[in-house]
């Protein structure tokens, strides 16, 4: 009841301001911190990383690692922060975040606003709670060598994270998605892998992809991912599509996330699973709001999951609800572990 009241109040103020309030509440310990929800059935792993459960929060929720300790204790199996760029940048002009309440969706055009890799890495170094934490790597808008930016962020922050995600799929930095092309992506990943080689320990490298690629481009990207020996693919980022929306803000520019993205994100994930033959672990994200959504994504090929927009409407209590419902669905169908159910619908 308290959380529902707080969510109702937050929805009365500007969405970006409401998000800042939520981050401050998390940082101040005003949100329950039950610790990771786990059980033998929910415990799993991805890219060699052991997780208490498969559900994480996507990058963008805690861009600057301000509330990473609280998020690690909120029931989640892992946390991804960022995106971080080499230099701080303010992002795109405001307003740049819009609730589409009727559609249970969000549109954002933030443009990689963040405090920069040095500040973010310093916060990560000081975190006090255990938990799996990854960093979403980004590039400065005015960079003369965006590919090198990703490698620089990994080299600087790598000692303080458990995995890194190459984000070339945000629609809010001009021409960033051009880096998803086969030749440009192969070159970028080569630089990132060389930066990883300079770290004292091996950091799994993931790639976050857009849901708006055609079949040829997606197949080429999967070929590059296999050649680069990526540790996982995150499918998907936000979409530029606006099919079937009814909310007043439906025409705003930016990336659309939330319920309208669910079916598209699941189809892209299923396509990637097929194209890679299940050889690269997948993280499903986009429109996941229920245990049934999570279960369907796992059956389509996801080894782990992320959510963000659903928390805008359901609050942090949604985490435990999704996980308990997911566990019940796994048990119903006779799966002893999450891993047993991965990709069963692709057979």
Beta bridge partners of 135: 81, 164
- Grouping H, G, I as helix, E, B as strand and the rest as coil, residue 282 is strand
How many CB atoms lie under 10 A from the CB of residue 60?
25
Beta bridge partners of 308: none
Q: Which positions are catalytic? A: 170
Q: Is the dihedral of CA 273, 278, 283, 284 positive or negative?
A: positive
Closest C-alpha among 121, 125, 127, 58 to residue 85? 121
DSSP for 117-183 reads HHHHHHHHHT--S-SEEEEEE---TT-S-HHHHHHHHHHHHGGG-SEEEEE---TTSTTGGGGGSHH
For strands 232-235 and 255-258, give the pairing. Answer: unpaired
How many CB atoms lie under 10 A from the CB of residue 332?
9
């Amino acid at each position: 009841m308290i959380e529902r009241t707080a969510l109702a109040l937050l929805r009365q103020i500007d969405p970006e301001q409401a998000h800042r309030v939520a981050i401050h509440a998390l940082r101040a310990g005003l949100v329950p911190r039950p610790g990771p929800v786990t059980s033998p059935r929910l415990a799993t792993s991805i890219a060699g990383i052991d997780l208490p459960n498969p559900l994480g929060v996507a990058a963008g929720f805690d861009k600057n690692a301000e509330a990473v300790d609280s998020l690690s204790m909120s029931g989640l199996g892992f946390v991804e922060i960022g995106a971080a760029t080499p230099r701080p940048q303010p992002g795109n002009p405001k307003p740049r975040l819009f609730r589409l309440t009727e559609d249970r969706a969000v549109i954002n055009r933030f443009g990689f606003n963040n405090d920069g890799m040095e500040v973010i890495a310093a916060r990560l170094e000081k975190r006090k709670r255990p938990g799996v934490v990854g960093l979403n790597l980004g590039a400065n808008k005015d960079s003369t060598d965006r590919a090198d930016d990703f490698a620089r962020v990994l080299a600087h922050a790598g000692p303080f994270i458990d995995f890194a995600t190459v984000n070339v799929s945000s629609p809010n930095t001009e021409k960033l998605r051009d880096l998803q092309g086969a030749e440009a992506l192969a070159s970028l990943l080569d630089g990132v892998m060389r930066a990883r080689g300079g770290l004292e320990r091996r950091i799994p490298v993931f790639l976050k992809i857009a849901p708006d690629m055609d079949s040829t481009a997606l197949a080429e990207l999967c070929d590059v991912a296999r050649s680069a020996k990526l540790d996982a693919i995150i499918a998907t980022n936000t979409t530029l599509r606006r099919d079937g929306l009814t909310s007043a803000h439906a025409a705003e520019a930016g990336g659309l996330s939330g319920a309208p993205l669910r079916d598209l994100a699941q189809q892209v994930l299923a396509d990637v699973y097929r194209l890679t033959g299940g050889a690269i672990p997948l993280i499903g994200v986009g429109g996941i709001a229920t245990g049934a959504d999570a279960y369907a994504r796992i059956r389509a090929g996801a080894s782990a999951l992320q959510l963000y927009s659903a928390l805008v409407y359901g609050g942090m209590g949604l985490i435990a609800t999704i996980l308990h419902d997911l566990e019940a669905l796994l048990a119903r169908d006779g799966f002893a572990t999450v891993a047993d159910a991965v990709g069963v619908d692709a057979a």
